Structure 1
Amino acid sequence: MATMGQREKLLEGAKRCLSERGYAHTTARDIVAASDGANLGSIGYHYGSTQGLLNAAMLSAIEEWGDAVGAALATGGGDEYGDPLVSYWRRTLSTLETHRATWLASIEAMIQSEHSPELRGQIADGMQQGRSGLAAMLTGREEEGLDDGTVRSVGSVAMALMSGVMIQWLIDPARAPSAEQVAAGIRALAVIG
């Protein structure tokens, strides 16, 4: 296995700090301490600043999380009740167990992006990729073949629902909706129009 250089050590250490301390509470010294032998001066050399490193770590963590969530959701099909919508929401909610810190850090990064146009642009690009991926998965079509209207409607609504439900679970899991309740709510909303 190849040895990690300073850049990779810093990135991994920053991701560890994001998970353990959060974006706003991570310092350059924290990152160095978690970076298995990296030095403080190498942050500026490789990333320009601590914020640059934290932004890169956040985007890397979100990408890894997105891949894992996508894989969990793509395992598709119905569950023991034969309801694909309930199954989808069960798989979505299960990602909280394995990726809770990344869900929290991504929310924190969105808040931090108010002060960093670069981070905001990177998150916006990631959200667009997420909308497109969700729309493809939910429609059963190839991402490249989706029209903008489908991405902006199906993908955006799916992302809004996912984010809203996950925030409820992060803040108040005892009163957050179950997969069955989310599916029932979606179906109830669909008949209102």
Structure 2
Amino acid sequence: MGNREALLAGAKRCLYEKGYGRTTARDIATASGVSLAAIGYHFGSKDALMNTALMDAIGEWGDALGAALADAAYVHATPEERFVASWDRVLETFVEHRGLWVAQFEMMTLLDQAPELREALSGVQKMARLSLAALFQGKDEVPDNETELSRGIFYQAMLAGLAAQWLVAPEQVPSGRDLFRGLQTVSASVLGGA
């Protein structure tokens, strides 16, 4: 592993363990076994390295989510069973990637002081929504259209809300079944039912 890769791995480890804002350049150098000067040489700044590490960690979580959702799609036959199993699997990914979710929520509080981070995140927003639409349907990709973007917006909002609830009180987080019942209730009231 070269210095660049070691720095990225060290930054991701710090991201998970210390968070986005509390990680120092020295922390990264220590975690990676690489000199402080190498951060500037390979990434330009500690912030640029942390932004790269964050995006890389989000990508790794996306891969884990894709594997979890693929498993849910094959095990269960009905749309209801797939929905319930998918969201239960999403919750399982939160456990393994807890540090990432903490760092993401922490990072959102820093966006006003980090315009480059806001720009990077807003730049991938559409792609993230389309990726979520594909993942939850068990597809490799979906077309860039209004239907799929709407689907992705829904999944993105559900994920963020569920992650926030899980971080605050994991023992009270709704299950896939709870989410399905909520979706049924809201759909019925919005679409003219109860």
Task: Bin the TM-score by the shorter chain.
Answer: 0.7 to 0.9
Residues 89 and 183 in structure 1, CA contact (< 8 A), matched pair in contact too: no
C-alpha distance after superposition, 1:74-132 (max 9, x if no partner): 22145499711111111111111211111212222233333222222222233322210
Residue 183 (structure 1) aligns with: 180
Residue 130 (structure 1) aligns with: 128
Contiguous gaps of at least 5 residues in structure 1: none
What is the letter of the counterpart of residue 100 of structure 1? R
Residue 89 (structure 2) aligns with: 91
TM-score, normalised to structure 1's length?
Answer: 0.88
Residues 19 and 101 in structure 1, CA contact (< 8 A), matched pair in contact too: yes
Do residues 23 (structure 1) and 20 (structure 2) align?
yes
3-state SS of 2:110 partner: helix
Residue 99 (structure 2) aligns with: 101
Residue 165 (structure 1) aligns with: 162
Residue 63 (structure 2) aligns with: 67
Contiguous gaps of at least 5 residues in structure 2: none
What is the letter of the counterpart of residue 18 of structure 2? R
Displacement over 6 Å in runs of 4+: none
C-alpha distance after superposition, 1:127-186 (max 9, x if no partner): 322210222244566634x24211331110111011101210111112221221111101
Residues 1:17 and 1:128: Cα distance change in structure 2 (over 3 Å): same
Residue 41 (structure 1) aligns with: 37
Q: How does 1:109-124 map to 2 (within 5 A)?
A: 109-124=107-122
| CA distance in structure 1 between the partners assigned to 2:176 and 2:40 by the alignment | 45
What RMSD over aligned residues (CA atoms) do the two structures have, in Å?
2.1
What is the letter of the counterpart of residue 158 of structure 2? L
Aligned residues with identical type, % of pairs: 42
